[in-house]
């Protein structure tokens, strides 16, 4: 295991700072709150934390519109609070990576305020300015991608909201300024960065128009109502075609190399994980990003054995092709996507499926990322009062539904609530208490707390219950940590024809481990031959048969069981 870097074997956990823990009682999560929960995280067994943006921001996009890259949002605390958090995390051997938003700043960032003030100021060329909109490009959040500024009598480009102007990365001064910010945090001791939306950094220099016969609001509506397979195919094609000229440019490789060089100047194996599924951004395997997320795994309505196997086959083959072999990175949920429990549930066996999917992400080859709250089975909360939405993208969609598409208000509110990312960003549920224990009684949390915190979906009660999902995660994480093959081993699928369960081996020089995830309500007796071993010695079972030895010729598996065993 000595050849493996910390970021290959560590279990990462995403903290959404606004929703994690409120330390000063104002209804908004903050650093004192997070610091106070570090012992909880240590006890859970995670080893690295990714913080969604904690920088000053007008919060049009919940922190992804940054107005100062070298500071802490006042509602989250001070820089000193951040340093205390970092010191306390490191004292517990918890690594910390930050969210780095390179594509755009806030329109309230000093750089943009200066850039937009005239055509000839020193930062005039720091953003992407044109005299007239050159094409029909859309902002992926709302409306046109070009917004007018009277001071310059020009338009600027924004892939995301108009409050998130794209930086002009062809300008060396932009790079220098951003690299200074990167060094600022590396000097403070952070262990790396999750790179936001890197695919969108460069655009097609020909400015080729898209050919989709509708605008973004119409496309969203079209997507909402797509039912048949052919409508769904067309929906996917439209989404791809609408934005394909606005991302995925090859220039990004050089930029990632430049950033990697900076990280490599530092000790301690600082790391970069790209919010992109394109393995090309790992370069030769050692000169661009350390990791990119395996998003294709999670982008499905149902995590079926066939889907998982196909995904692993494709990804692992591509990673193996890199001159310096690449390493995977698996996740099933984050602040942009529906809660795992809700997304992959089927309404009948949600609890069982949540356990299977936790085991999946913790046993596949690659670095696992968890999203805060999944360990207690937090669920989507659909906000039906549009006035309570905080995800601006959803507020705007709501407005478009009512005013442009003339959808009935009740229906519009429901659709906006379902599309809103607020549903998966609600406050952590710490106990069966007022506001779920996230903030004091009588204080209004920034987003409503899911009422199911009173029905056992909370940390305190699950801590006291050995049968809870939380204990299940802890047991799984402990098993993973003490099983070298799960941390580093090769992946080899078995019984690849099965639709009901997925079985695979993880093999390292000292150990062969069999993982079986039964995605069906049926009991089975399975026979594994050709492994060169005779017996499966249980390491973990969701059915509580952990310590048993079973002959490989007849392994009995319960409904929805997760079974992990060392082969001897
Ligand atoms: O997301 C990038 C991205 O591609 C999003 O459009 C994503 O597809 C969408 O949120 C799904 O609904 C990153 C961040 O993760 C996201 O929270 C930010 O809003 C976005 O960048 C802009 O910074
Ligand atoms: Ca607070």
* Residue range 15-60, pLDDT digits in tens: 999 999 999 999 999 999 999 999 999 999 999 999 999 999 999 9
Instruction: State whether the beta carbon of 383 lies less than 6 angstroms from ligand 1.
Output: no
Q: Tell me: do 251 and 274 sit in the same domain.
A: yes
322 domain residue, yes or no: yes
Ligand nearest the Cα atom of residue 440: 2
Whether 251 shows a pLDDT value over 70: the answer reads yes
* From 336, 380, 393, 424, mutation site for ligand 1 pocket: most ligand atoms within 8 A of C-beta: 336
Instruction: State whether the beta carbon of 140 lies less than 6 angstroms from ligand 1.
Output: yes
Query: Tell me: the pLDDT tens digits for 65-76?
Result: 999 999 999 999
Instruction: Name the average pLDDT for the chain.
Output: 97
CB 303 within 8 A of CB 343: no
Query: Tell me: the pLDDT tens digits for 474-504?
Result: 999 999 999 999 999 999 999 999 999 999 9
Closest CA to 456 of 470, 445, 438: 470
Q: Tell me: do 23 and 73 sit in the same domain.
A: yes
- Alpha-carbon span 126 to 111, nearest angstrom: 8
Instruction: State whether the beta carbon of 61 lies less than 6 angstroms from ligand 1.
Output: yes
Q: Which pLDDT belongs to residue 466?
A: 97
CB 291 within 8 A of CB 369: no
For residue 245, give the 3-state DSSP assignment: helix
Ligand 2 midpoint to CA 279 (Å) = 38
Instruction: State whether the beta carbon of 197 lies less than 6 angstroms from ligand 1.
Output: yes
162 domain residue, yes or no: no
186 domain residue, yes or no: yes
- Alpha-carbon span 421 to 368, nearest angstrom: 22
Q: Name the residue with the closest Cα to ligand 1, atom 6.
A: 140
For residue 160, give the 3-state DSSP assignment: coil
Query: Tell me: the pLDDT tens digits for 436-474?
Result: 999 999 999 999 999 999 999 999 999 999 999 999 999
Ligand nearest the Cα atom of residue 20: 2
Query: Tell me: the pLDDT tens digits for 369-392?
Result: 999 999 999 999 999 999 999 999
- pLDDT-based confidence at residue 224 (cuts at 50, 70, 90): confident
Q: Tell me: do 468 and 328 sit in the same domain.
A: yes
Q: Could you tell me whether strands 511-518 and 129-130 are parallel, antiparallel, or unpaired per DSSP bridges?
A: unpaired
404 domain residue, yes or no: no
- Alpha-carbon span 389 to 403, nearest angstrom: 18
Q: Tell me: do 336 and 255 sit in the same domain.
A: yes
Q: Name the residue with the closest Cα to ligand 1, atom 21.
A: 197
Phi and psi torsions of 251, nearest 5°: -55, -25
- Alpha-carbon span 127 to 115, nearest angstrom: 7
**pLDDT over 90 for what percent of the chain?**
96
Instruction: State whether the beta carbon of 190 lies less than 6 angstroms from ligand 1.
Output: no
**Any idea which residues carry the catalytic annotation?**
196, 265
Helices (H) and strands (E) in the chain, counts: 19, 19
Whether 416 shows a pLDDT value over 60: the answer reads yes
Ligand nearest the Cα atom of residue 36: 2
Whether 546 shows a pLDDT value over 80: the answer reads no
Closest CA to 389 of 408, 407, 416: 416
Instruction: State whether the beta carbon of 276 lies less than 6 angstroms from ligand 1.
Output: no
Count the domains in the chain. Answer: 3
Instruction: State whether the beta carbon of 160 lies less than 6 angstroms from ligand 1.
Output: yes
Instruction: Give me the helices (H) in 333-408, please.
Output: 340-343, 350-363, 392-403
Bridge partners (DSSP) listed for residue 329: 367
Q: Tell me: do 114 and 97 sit in the same domain.
A: no
- Alpha-carbon span 537 to 564, nearest angstrom: 8
Q: Which pLDDT belongs to residue 2?
A: 61
Ligand 1 midpoint to CA 196 (Å) = 8
Instruction: State whether the beta carbon of 10 lies less than 6 angstroms from ligand 1.
Output: no
Query: Tell me: the pLDDT tens digits for 511-539?
Result: 999 999 999 999 999 999 988 999 999 99
Task: Specify the CATH number for the domain of residue 38.
Answer: 3.20.20.80
Instruction: Give me the helices (H) in 244-304, please.
Output: 252-264, 295-298
| Non-local CB neighbours of 320 within 8 Å, separated by 6+ positions | 326
Q: Which pLDDT belongs to residue 218?
A: 87
Q: Tell me: do 257 and 350 sit in the same domain.
A: yes
Domain boundary among 124, 157, 190: 157
Q: Tell me: do 86 and 135 sit in the same domain.
A: no
299 domain residue, yes or no: yes
Q: Which pLDDT belongs to residue 220?
A: 87
- pLDDT-based confidence at residue 547 (cuts at 50, 70, 90): low
For residue 322, count CB atoms less than 10 angstroms from its CB and return exposed for 0-12, middle for 13-18, buried for 19 or more. middle
Whether 367 shows a pLDDT value over 90: the answer reads yes
Average pLDDT over residues 294-307: 97
Q: Tell me: do 49 and 193 sit in the same domain.
A: yes
- Alpha-carbon span 380 to 339, nearest angstrom: 6
CB 398 within 8 A of CB 391: no
Ligand 1 midpoint to CA 63 (Å) = 11
Task: Specify the CATH number for the domain of residue 558.
Answer: 2.60.40.1180
Q: Tell me: do 54 and 26 sit in the same domain.
A: yes
Ligand nearest the Cα atom of residue 391: 1
* From 197, 199, 393, mutation site for ligand 1 pocket: most ligand atoms within 8 A of C-beta: 197
Instruction: Give me the helices (H) in 28-161, please.
Output: 31-36, 38-44, 79-91, 110-117
Instruction: State whether the beta carbon of 101 lies less than 6 angstroms from ligand 1.
Output: yes
- Ligand 1 atom with minimal separation from the 199 CA: 4
Q: Tell me: do 350 and 254 sit in the same domain.
A: yes
- Ligand 1 atom with minimal separation from the 335 CA: 17
- Alpha-carbon span 102 to 421, nearest angstrom: 21
CB 305 within 8 A of CB 519: yes
- Alpha-carbon span 3 to 18, nearest angstrom: 37
Q: Name the residue with the closest Cα to ligand 1, atom 17.
A: 336
- Alpha-carbon span 315 to 326, nearest angstrom: 10
Whether 186 shows a pLDDT value over 70: the answer reads yes
- Alpha-carbon span 477 to 192, nearest angstrom: 23
Domain boundary among 440, 472, 504: 472
In the block, tokens 């995977």 appear at 328
Q: Tell me: do 518 and 372 sit in the same domain.
A: no
What is the sign of the dihedral through the CA atoms of 468, 470, 475 and 480? positive
538 domain residue, yes or no: yes
Q: Which pLDDT belongs to residue 70?
A: 98
Q: Could you tell me whether strands 490-494 and 501-508 are parallel, antiparallel, or unpaired per DSSP bridges?
A: antiparallel
Q: What angle do CA 140, 218, 161 make, to 5 degrees?
A: 25
Ligand 1 midpoint to CA 366 (Å) = 23
CB 95 within 8 A of CB 52: no
Q: Which pLDDT belongs to residue 211?
A: 97
- Alpha-carbon span 98 to 392, nearest angstrom: 23
Q: Ligand 2 is a single-atom ion; what residues have CB below 5 A from it?
A: 22, 24, 26, 28, 30
Ligand 1 midpoint to CA 486 (Å) = 31
Whether 1 shows a pLDDT value over 80: the answer reads no
Angle between helices 216-225 and 392-403 (to 10 degrees): 90
Instruction: State whether the beta carbon of 419 lies less than 6 angstroms from ligand 1.
Output: no
Average pLDDT over residues 86-97: 99
- Alpha-carbon span 78 to 20, nearest angstrom: 17
Q: Tell me: do 275 and 307 sit in the same domain.
A: yes
Whether 551 shows a pLDDT value over 60: the answer reads yes
Q: Which pLDDT belongs to residue 234?
A: 96
CB 372 within 8 A of CB 19: yes
Task: Specify the CATH number for the domain of residue 135.
Answer: 3.90.400.10
Q: Rounded to whole angstroms, what are the CA distances from 517 to 288, 344, 356, 524? A: 34, 15, 6, 12
- Ligand 1 atom with minimal separation from the 334 CA: 15
- pLDDT-based confidence at residue 217 (cuts at 50, 70, 90): confident
Ligand 1 midpoint to CA 139 (Å) = 12
Half-sphere exposure of 80 (CA within 13 A, CB side): 0
Instruction: State whether the beta carbon of 196 lies less than 6 angstroms from ligand 1.
Output: yes
- Domain range enclosing 371: 6-102+172-201+245-381+451-472
292 domain residue, yes or no: yes
Ligand 1 midpoint to CA 441 (Å) = 32
Bridge partners (DSSP) listed for residue 98: 51, 193
Closest CA to 115 of 68, 143, 155, 61: 155
Residue 141 C-alpha from the chain's centroid: 18
Bridge partners (DSSP) listed for residue 101: 196
Q: What is the dihedral of CA 29, 76, 53, 445, to 10 degrees?
A: 30
87 domain residue, yes or no: yes
């Amino acid at each position: 295991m000595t050849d493996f870097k910390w970021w290959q074997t560590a279990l990462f956990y995403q903290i959404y700072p606004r929703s994690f823990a409120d330390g000063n009682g104002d209804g908004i999560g903050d650093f004192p709150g997070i610091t106070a929960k570090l012992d909880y995280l240590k006890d859970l067994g995670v080893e690295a934390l990714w913080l969604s943006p904690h920088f000053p921001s007008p919060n049009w996009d919940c922190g992804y519109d940054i107005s100062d890259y070298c500071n802490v949002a006042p509602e989250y605390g001070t820089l000193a609070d951040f340093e205390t958090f970092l010191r306390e995390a490191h004292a517990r051997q918890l690594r910390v990576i930050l969210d780095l938003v390179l594509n755009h700043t806030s329109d309230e960032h000093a750089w943009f305020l200066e850039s937009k003030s005239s055509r000839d100021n020193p930062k005039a060329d720091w953003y992407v300015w044109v005299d007239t909109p050159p094409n029909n490009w859309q902002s992926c959040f709302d409306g046109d991608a070009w917004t007018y500024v009277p001071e310059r009598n020009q338009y600027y480009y924004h892939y995301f909201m108009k409050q998130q102007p794209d930086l002009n990365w062809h300008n060396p001064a932009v790079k220098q300024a951003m690299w200074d910010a990167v060094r600022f945090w590396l000097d403070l001791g952070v262990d790396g960065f999750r790179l936001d939306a890197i695919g969108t950094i460069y655009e097609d220099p020909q400015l080729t128009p898209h050919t989709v016969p509708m605008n973004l609001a119409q496309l969203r509506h079209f997507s909402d109502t797509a039912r048949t397979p052919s409508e769904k195919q067309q929906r996917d094609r439209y989404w791809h075609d609408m934005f394909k000229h606005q991302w995925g440019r090859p220039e990004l490789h050089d930029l990632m190399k430049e950033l990697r060089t900076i990280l490599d100047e530092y000790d301690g194996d600082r790391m970069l994980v790209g919010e992109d599924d394109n393995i090309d951004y790992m370069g030769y395997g050692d000169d661009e990003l350390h990791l990119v997320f395996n998003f294709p795994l999670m982008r499905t309505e149902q995590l079926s054995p066939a889907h998982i196997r196909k995904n692993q086959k494709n990804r692992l083959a591509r990673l193996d092709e890199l001159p310096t072999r690449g390493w995977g990175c698996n996740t099933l949920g984050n602040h942009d996507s529906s809660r795992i429990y809700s997304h992959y549930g089927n309404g009948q066996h949600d609890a069982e499926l949540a356990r299977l999917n936790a085991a999946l992400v913790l046993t596949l080859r690659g670095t696992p990322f968890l999203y805060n709250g999944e360990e207690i089975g937090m669920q989507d909360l659909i906000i039906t009062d549009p006035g309570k939405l905080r995800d601006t993208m959803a507020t705007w969609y709501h407005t478009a539904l009512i005013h442009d598409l003339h959808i009935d208000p009740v229906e519009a509110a429901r659709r906006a609530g379902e599309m809103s990312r607020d549903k998966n960003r609600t406050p952590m549920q710490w106990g069966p208490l007022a506001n779920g224990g996230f903030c004091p009684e009588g204080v209004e949390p920034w987003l409503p707390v899911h009422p199911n915190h009173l029905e056992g979906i909370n940390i305190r009660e699950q801590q006291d219950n050995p049968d809870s999902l939380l204990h299940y995660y802890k047991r799984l994480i402990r098993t993973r940590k003490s099983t070298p093959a799960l941390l580093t081993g090769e992946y080899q699928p078995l019984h690849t024809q099965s639709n009901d369960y997925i079985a695979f081996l993880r093999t390292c020089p000292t150990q062969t481990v069999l993982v079986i995830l039964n995605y069906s309500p049926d009991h089975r007796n399975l026979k594994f031959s050709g492994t060169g071993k005779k017996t499966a010695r249980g390491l973990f079972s969701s059915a509580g048969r952990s310590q048993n030895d079973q002959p490989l010729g007849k392994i009995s598996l319960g409904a929805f069981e997760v079974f992990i065993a060392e082969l001897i």
